[in-house]
């Protein structure tokens, strides 16, 4: 099984990204995140609640820092001159602290894995970070240097209608995510208590994000993000609307963005009332559609998302994925799950189902966020996540799915399939498939350059 450190002592960035999703990060007093970092924006069902960081060469990640369970994270962010570093450091008052380099590695492993550290924690909203740590480097181990991507200037620009652009859309890695449409109707007024239990979207809209955005607000924000941040991909998402007419909801805004910029566009929405509408999305130039069904276990599906179960049901989600992947011809179709909400075997089954139907799995790590019904649950253990993510990579490669093709699309909220390579037992396998993907990426990059307008 993969470990945090490679045999040569350097950090395995894939393991680090995954483990940070599971454990979060504390912030040393030396850090100047108010100056150096992007604002922490709680959006995307609450998953984007963390600090945007780049690990390794270009592995974007959104690391949990404010949730109660981050208060005991062994990981500490430190500023060293102009550089930011992650260390494995002392946790609270623990008497057995991680060893300095060359010291007691057994203690270090014990701390990394410690599954009982949440039992005595205050899980209330009062126990809220970022949690400041004072790192004693003599009792800690250096993990890796990281980059804190600066906040783009356009975040603080206003649209012509006077709205702050970061409340219209925000960067999640290198792409622009925009929520479009009314508040998910699982949150009311008639859907009370039907929201998904990991989700806080109903609390974010109107507080963290503009509840009402015009098409002009969106187009201006996309153009600003393209100009400064060189985005290539705009990802729209939404929650349930009673009519399930997502074509009606999205057609005008997507057309406006496509006409103005020619950027790649993705849509994430519940299954449309009429699957024939997906052909219209394709004609409009939509490149990707994705469907979040979270779990393959039918009982868990109903338990986790009662509104989702009543309004659509697992079967409808799977049918939508199958239809879009096999009857429409989008560039890519994704089925999205959350690992940590069901058994490892069930998550693997979901990955197998998605890949065998020609779609690409998107695998999130369950993040218990403030305000969610599941906000007081423990986050998953990395030991349980490793087999899922290693299976994810293996499955995608075996099926030869087109991953990593779009130019400059790095995602901070999830492990991209190609990022999971070093979580497997044989990272150098699938050489031919990787070469094919590289060739496809090069060709698609050239096509994108020739067709993009903005």
Binding site for ligand SF4 (CB under 6 A): 45, 184, 186, 195-196, 199, 201, 239-240, 305, 308
Contact (Cβ atoms closer than 8 angstroms) between residue 370 and residue 67: yes
The nearer residue to ligand SF4, 183 or 421, going by C-beta atoms, is 183
* Crossing angle (nearest 10°) for helices 382-398 and 344-356: 20
Nearer to ligand SF4, 32 or 298 (CB): 298
Q: Is 54 or 292 the residue whose CB approaches ligand SF4 more closely?
A: 292
Taking a C-beta distance cutoff of 8 angstroms, is the pair 276, 218 a contact? no
Closest CB to ligand SF4 among 195 and 389? Answer: 195
Q: How far is the CB of 319 from ligand SF4 (least distance, A)?
A: 17
Smallest distance from the beta carbon of 364 to ligand SF4, in angstroms? 11
What the block records as the tokens of 34 is: 């108010």
Give me the least distance between CB of 109 and ligand SF4, in Å please.
36
312: helix, strand or coil: coil
Report the nearest approach of ligand SF4 to the CB of residue 22 (Å).
21
Min dist CB 311 to ligand SF4, Å, is 8
Instruction: Name the β-bridge partners of 336.
Output: 292, 362
Q: Is 194 or 419 the residue whose CB approaches ligand SF4 more closely?
A: 194
User: Closest CB to ligand SF4 among 71 and 290?
Assistant: 290
For residues 302 and 381, which CB has a smaller minimum distance to ligand SF4 in the complex? 302
User: Minimum distance between the CB of residue 191 and ligand SF4, rounded to whole angstroms?
Assistant: 8
Phi, psi values for residue 205, rounded to 5°: -70, 125
Of 195 and 430, CB closest to ligand SF4: 195
Task: State the nearest-atom distance from the C-beta of 52 to ligand SF4, in Å.
Answer: 21
Contacts of 184 (CB under 8 A, 6+ apart): 191, 195, 199, 201, 202, 238, 239, 240, 307
Distance of closest approach, residue 289 Cβ to ligand SF4, in angstroms: 15
CB 84 within 8 A of CB 145: yes
Strand order in the sheet with 132-133: 59-63, 51-55, 141-147, 83-88, 75-80, 26-28, 132-133
As measured in angstroms, the least distance from the Cβ of 239 to ligand SF4 is 3
Whether residue 130 is preceded by a cis peptide bond, meaning omega within 30 degrees of 0, is yes
Alpha carbons 179 and 320: distance in angstroms, whole number:
21
**176-179 and 170-171 beta bridge pairing:** antiparallel
Q: Choose between 162 and 189: whose C-beta lies nearer to ligand SF4.
A: 189
Q: How far is the CB of 379 from ligand SF4 (least distance, A)?
A: 18
Of the candidates 410, 301, 400, which has an alpha carbon nearest to the alpha carbon of residue 58?
410
Residue 436 CA to residue 291 CA, distance in Å, equals 27
- Beta strand pairing call for 233-237 and 264-268: parallel
What are the two backbone dihedrals, phi and then psi, of residue 62, each rounded to the nearest 5 degrees?
A: -115, 105
Least CB distance from residue 186 to ligand SF4, whole Å?
4
Task: Extract the tokens encoding 180.
Answer: 């479009």
Within 10 angstroms of residue 74's Cβ, the number of other Cβ atoms is 26
Q: Is the peptide bond before 189 cis (omega within 30 degrees of 0)?
A: yes
Nearer to ligand SF4 among residue 7 and residue 189 (C-beta): 189
The smaller minimum CB distance to ligand SF4, of residues 305 and 340, is found at 305
| Number of Cβ within a 10 Å radius of residue 48 | 22
DSSP tag of 245:
-
Nearer Cβ to ligand SF4 (129/266): 266
β-pair partners for 147 = 54
Closest distance to ligand SF4 from the beta carbon of 240 (Å): 5
CA 403 to chain centre: 16
DSSP characters for 334-348?
EEEEEETSS-HHHHH
């Amino acid at each position: 099984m993969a470990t945090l450190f490679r045999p040569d002592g350097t950090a395995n960035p894939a393991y680090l990204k995954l483990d940070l999703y599971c454990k979060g990060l504390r912030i040393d007093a030396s850090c100047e995140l108010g100056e150096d970092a992007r604002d922490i924006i709680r959006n995307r069902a609450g998953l984007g609640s963390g600090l945007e960081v780049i690990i390794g060469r270009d592995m974007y990640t959104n690391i949990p820092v404010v949730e109660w369970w981050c208060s005991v994270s062994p990981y500490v962010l430190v500023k060293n001159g102009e550089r930011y570093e992650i260390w494995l450091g002392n946790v609270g008052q623990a008497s057995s602290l991680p060893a300095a380099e060359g010291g007691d590695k057994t203690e270090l492993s014990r701390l990394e894995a410690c599954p009982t550290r949440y039992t005595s924690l205050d899980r209330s909203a009062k126990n809220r970070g970022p949690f400041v740590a004072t790192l004693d480097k003599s009792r800690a181990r250096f993990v890796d240097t990281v980059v804190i991507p600066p906040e783009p200037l356009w975040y603080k620009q206003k649209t012509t209608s006077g709205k702050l652009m970061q409340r219209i859309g925000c960067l999640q890695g290198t792409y622009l995510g925009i929520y479009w449409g009314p508040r998910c109707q699982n949150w009311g007024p008639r859907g009370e208590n039907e929201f998904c239990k990991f989700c806080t979207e109903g609390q974010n809209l109107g507080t963290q994000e503009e509840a009402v955005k015009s098409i002009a607000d969106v187009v201006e924000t996309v153009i600003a993000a393209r100009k400064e941040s060189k985005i290539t991909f705009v990802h729209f998402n939404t929650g349930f609307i009673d009519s399930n007419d997502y074509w009606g909801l999205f057609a005008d805004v997507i057309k406006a963005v496509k006409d103005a910029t020619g950027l790649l566009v993705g849509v994430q929405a519940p299954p449309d009332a009429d699957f024939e509408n997906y052909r219209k999305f394709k004609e409009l130039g939509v490149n990707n559609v994705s469907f979040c069904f979270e779990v393959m276990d039918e009982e868990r599906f109903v338990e986790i998302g009662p509104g989702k179960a009543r309004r659509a049901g697992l079967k409808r989600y799977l049918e939508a994925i199958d239809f879009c992947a096999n009857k429409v011809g989008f560039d890519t179709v994704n089925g999205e799950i959350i690992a940590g909400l069901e058994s490892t075997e069930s998550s693997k089954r979901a990955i197998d189902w998605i890949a065998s139907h020609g779609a690409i799995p998107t695998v999130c790590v369950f993040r218990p966020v403030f305000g969610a019904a599941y906000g007081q649950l423990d986050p998953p253990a990395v030991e349980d996540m490793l087999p899922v993510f290693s299976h994810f990579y293996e499955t995608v490669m075996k099926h030869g799915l087109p991953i990593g093709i779009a130019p400059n699309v790095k995602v901070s909220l999830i492990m991209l399939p190609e990022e999971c390579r070093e979580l497997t037992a044989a990272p150098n396998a699938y050489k031919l498939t990787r070469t094919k993907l590289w060739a496809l990426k090069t060709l698609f990059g050239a096509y994108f350059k020739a067709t993009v307008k903005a």
